[in-house]
């Protein structure tokens, strides 16, 4: 089970970054497009679970992107959340007529948009939202980001949280540093493989701060595994 993937199609760089930052902090993987054309191209390359689509975009508009995706059988089922600065009811109706699954008016509260993304994901990938993962005495709630070991709450940074989520989805699986970089940091970002070791170290420290054995296993020449 991979991290849920959200495609953001938004031409305003600041808004794009805020969205991507918040979605990634919630454990989603994001890809970003700055116009409709690029958005359509990215859907081809790497099918997202949910699309957050701005209405007003250069070249191909958000409405047109939505219409194209919703008329194709292979992309029809991808939920689309439209963003728009227009609040008139007539626009809402038009937005929904193009097949958008939800509609959020700008300016929006980020928390509200996150909730809408989770709602759409629950429809398409129920197992990835609001799920409690358990490994031995460790519990991880993917929705609230709460991690506990025995009865102690474990505070983790966003990277350590994503690392632990990846491990807990497939206990026992050996992950190479390169695989972990792909899954946890994202394939577009260049990060040295030694960075993985640093964050594994932090994760281990956090998980063992109240005692208990280190659940992360180093597999010589291969990488890391949980259990």
Site for Ca ion, rule CB under 5 A: 11, 54, 56
Please state the closest distance from residue 47 (CB atom) to Ca ion, in A.
23
- Using Cβ positions, the residue closest to Ca ion within the complex turns out to be 56
| Nearest Cα residue to 196 out of 153, 159, 158, 170 | 159
Nearer CB in complex with Ca ion: 56/96: 56
**Cβ distance to Ca ion smaller for residue 80 or 207:** 80
Q: b vs e for 122-159, b when ≥16 Cβ sit within 10 Å of the residue's Cβ?
A: eeeeeebbebebebeebbbebeeeebebeeeebebeeb
- The distance from CA 57 to its chain's CA centroid, rounded to whole angstroms, is 23
Q: Which is nearer to Ca ion, 85 or 115 (CB)?
A: 85
Q: Closer CB to Ca ion, residue 56 or residue 225?
A: 56
CB of 86 to Ca ion, least distance (A): 11
Q: How far is the CB of 176 from Ca ion (least distance, A)?
A: 40
Nearest approach in angstroms of CB 189 to Ca ion is 25
Query: From CA 118, how far away is CA 108, in angstroms rounded?
Result: 16
Q: What does the alpha-carbon distance between residue 81 and residue 83 come to, in Å, rounded to a whole number?
A: 7
């Amino acid at each position: 089970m991979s991290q849920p993937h959200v495609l953001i199609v938004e031409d305003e760089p600041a808004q794009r970054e805020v969205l991507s930052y918040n979605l990634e902090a919630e454990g989603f993987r994001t890809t970003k497009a700055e116009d409709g054309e690029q958005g359509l191209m990215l859907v081809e390359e790497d099918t997202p679970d949910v699309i957050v689509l701005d209405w007003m975009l250069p070249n191909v508009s958000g409405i047109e992107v939505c219409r194209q995706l919703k008329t194709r059988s292979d992309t029809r089922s991808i939920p689309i959340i439209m963003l728009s600065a227009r609040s008139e009811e007539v626009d809402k109706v038009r937005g929904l007529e193009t097949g958008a699954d939800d509609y959020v008016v700008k300016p929006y509260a980020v928390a509200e948009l996150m909730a809408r993304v989770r709602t759409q994901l629950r429809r398409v990938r129920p197992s990835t939202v609001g799920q409690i993962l358990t490994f031995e005495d460790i519990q991880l709630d993917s929705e609230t980001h709460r991690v506990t070991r025995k009865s102690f709450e474990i505070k983790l940074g966003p990277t350590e949280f994503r690392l632990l989520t990846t491990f807990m989805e497939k206990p026992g699986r050996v992950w190479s540093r390169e695989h972990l970089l792909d899954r946890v940091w994202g394939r577009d970002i260049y990060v040295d493989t030694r960075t993985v070791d640093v964050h594994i170290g932090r994760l281990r420290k956090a998980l063992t701060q109240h005692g208990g054995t280190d659940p992360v296993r180093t597999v010589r020449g291969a990488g890391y595994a949980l259990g």
